[in-house]
Structure formats: C-alpha cells, structure tokens
C-alpha cells in the first residue's frame, strides 16, 4: 500500500514540474510506508506580487495511527529547493523513529 499525498498551492497556481518533483520526493518516504498513511504538502508564494517571491513549504506527515507529525517549514526563493529540503527532514525524522523503534523492540 502506497503513501497518499494531498498538495495545496496558495498564492500561485502551482506547476506540473512542482507536482512531479513532489511525487519523486514522496517516493523517498516509501521505505517508511508501515509508519505513514499519508501526507499533506502546502506550497505558498509569499509576496507573490513582488519581483522575487519567497515560497513556504509545509509538509505534514500522517501516521498509520492517525497522528499528525508536522515537518519544520522550509522557505526560499526556489520552491523546488524548499520542497527537497522539507522531504530531507521528513526522511531523517522517519529514519530516527524507525531506529528508535527497532532499538526498543529488538527481534
């Protein structure tokens, strides 16, 4: 069973390129599919009327137990970079949880 993802864009229309990158990044979380039911990804253009808006990327993980685990916001002028950094943190957090659970429950 795969991990579901809902994507929302605020302050701009989004793009096929961003959506494709989000799907690629989501595949990085597949090894943690036993922990995750899904995630919510929000990408917001802040200062969209300015020459160079900043983008705020919010990634919230939803566990199989129904718990909500927000990842720290990533902000930058390049939404692709902020997106990748958010998934970097999510992957590290999930790896840490998996390692702690393995340590607590050795086979």
- Contact call for residues 31 and 3 (beta carbons, < 8 A): no
pLDDT confidence band for 107 (50 / 70 / 90): low
pLDDT, tens digit, 9 for 90 and up, residues 9-61: 999 999 999 999 999 999 999 999 998 999 999 999 998 677 888 999 999 99
Flag whether pLDDT at 86 surpasses 80: yes
Q: In degrees rounded to 5, what are phi and psi of residue 11?
A: 85, 0
Show the domains of the chain with their CATH numbers. 4-104 (3.30.160.100)
């Amino acid at each position: 069973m795969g991990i579901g993802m809902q994507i929302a864009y605020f302050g701009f229309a989004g793009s096929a390129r961003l959506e494709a990158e989000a799907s690629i990044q989501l595949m990085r979380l597949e090894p943690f599919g036993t922990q995750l039911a899904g995630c919510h990804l929000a990408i917001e253009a802040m200062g969209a009327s300015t020459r160079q808006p900043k983008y705020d990327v919010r990634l919230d993980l939803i566990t199989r137990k129904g718990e909500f685990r927000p990842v720290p916001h990533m902000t930058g002028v390049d939404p692709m970079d902020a997106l990748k950094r958010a998934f970097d943190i999510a992957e590290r957090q999930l790896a840490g949880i998996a390692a702690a659970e393995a340590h607590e429950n050795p086979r």
